[in-house]
Amino acid sequence: MKFCTVKQYFDDENNNNVTNGIATTVIPLPNKHLKIKANNKEMEQYEQELLRNVMPQELTKLILAANYLNFKEALDFFCRTVANAIQNKSVDYVRKFFGLESDFEPGEEEKLCKEFAWSFEGVDED
């Protein structure tokens, strides 16, 4: 099932979302996943490797590719990787990670920060 979608994807020339580079990371994933499914430690190492070598931007593209290919295990893995990367980080760090800018009205954001001040304490240094 997975490989049918992959073939269909390559045949679909209008698809610009995923470059060849990404495809080479995602496609071998099923094999890697099957091989090391039982071995959590290796998956963790792979996750660390991914975070070091792959920019957040690329990671987002990996997620989109996995989503498009309907590859649930890869999707869950990448989402978990992203969650671990932004866990306990500040608002600014999270924004930078996703390339987002604040679109709040002036004062709205201050209000939110004030309301939940305790959750902004003790976050990791950026």
Contact flag: residue 73 with another protein (CB under 8 A): no
Q: Which of 46, 80, 106, 125 binds another protein (CB under 8 A)?
A: 80
The smaller minimum CB distance to another protein, of residues 38 and 100, is found at: 100
DSSP string, the chain: -HHHHHHHHHH-TT--SS-HHHHHHHTTHHHHHHHHTT-HHHHHHHHHHHHHHS-HHHHHHHHHHHHHTT-HHHHHHHHHHHHHHHTT--HHHHHHHHT----PPTTHHHHHHHHTHHHHTTPPP-
Binding mask 17-56 for another protein (x = CB under 8 A): ---------------------------------------x
Contact flag: residue 98 with another protein (CB under 8 A): yes
Contact flag: residue 94 with another protein (CB under 8 A): yes
